[in-house]
């Protein structure tokens, strides 16, 4: 069995004149990213590989979450995650070596949220705010499509 953790970057600031890719996390985003890592650790999860968008906010979310979750995890910055559609995200996941049992993908909405909803056949109406994650169980990384994942848990920073 494989475990996919789909994490949306934490809350980012809107800074006039700053390119979207360079937007930093807000103070709340910094706290929430660390809390996401703590929560994943409490769930007993530790990624063997992290696929992260190149944006500043996803890289910082990854850094803060991994600081408490898995400081030595292998992180690959994947440029294709930025502005990716759900099928493009699944294509990236499908290229992951089957030796990896737990994968953390850190990206953006709407792609991450729609990927989770499609894999688990859950509603996109369910909120997936910044800093949220979903934990999904699947048989394999290859050939993932609608309904191939079972939702194990969801968390968002507004949860206690």
Domain assignment present for residue 117? The answer is yes
- Classify residue 96: in a domain, yes or no: yes
Angstrom distance (rounded) from CA 82 to CA 89: 10
Whether 80 maps to a domain, the answer reads yes
Structure-block tokens of residue 1: 């069995």
How is residue 112 written in tokens?
């991450």
- CATH assignment of the domain containing 133: 3.40.50.1240
**pLDDT surpasses 90 at 138:** yes
Q: Does the N-terminal peptide bond of residue 110 adopt cis geometry, omega within 30 degrees of 0?
A: yes
Local structure of 132: helix, strand or coil: coil
Residue 160 lies in a domain: no
CA separation for the pair 59, 63 (Å, rounded)? 6
- Rounded to the nearest 10 degrees, the angle between the axes of helix 27-42 and helix 56-69 is 40
Domain annotation covers residue 50: yes
* Average confidence (pLDDT) over 38-54: 97
Share of the chain above pLDDT 90, in %: 95
Report the mean per-residue pLDDT for the chain. 96
| Residue 144 covered by a domain | yes
**pTM exceeding the 0.85 threshold for the entire prediction:** yes
Round to whole Å and give the CA distance between 77 and 80: 9
pLDDT in tens, 88-128: 999 999 999 999 999 999 999 999 999 999 999 999 888 99
Give a yes or no: residue 69 inside a domain. yes
Number of domains in the chain: 1
Q: Which domain holds residue 80?
A: 2-155
Structural domain contains residue 115: yes
């Amino acid at each position: 069995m494989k475990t996919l953790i789909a994490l949306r970057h934490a809350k980012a600031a809107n800074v006039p004149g700053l390119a979207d890719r360079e937007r930093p996390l807000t103070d709340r985003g910094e706290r929430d990213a660390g809390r996401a890592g703590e929560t994943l650790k409490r769930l007993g999860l530790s990624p063997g590989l992290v696929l992260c968008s190149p944006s500043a906010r996803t890289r910082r979310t990854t850094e803060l979450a991994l600081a408490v979750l898995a400081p030595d995890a292998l992180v690959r910055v994947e440029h294709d995650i930025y502005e990716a559609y759900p099928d493009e995200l699944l294509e990236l996941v499908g290229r992951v070596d089957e030796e990896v049992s737990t994968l953390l993908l850190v990206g953006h909405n709407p792609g991450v949220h729609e990927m989770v909803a499609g894999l688990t056949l859950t509603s996109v109406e369910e909120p997936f705010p910044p800093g949220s994650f979903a934990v999904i169980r699947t048989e394999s990384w290859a050939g993932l499509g609608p309904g191939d994942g079972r939702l194990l848990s969801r968390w968002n920073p507004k949860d206690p």
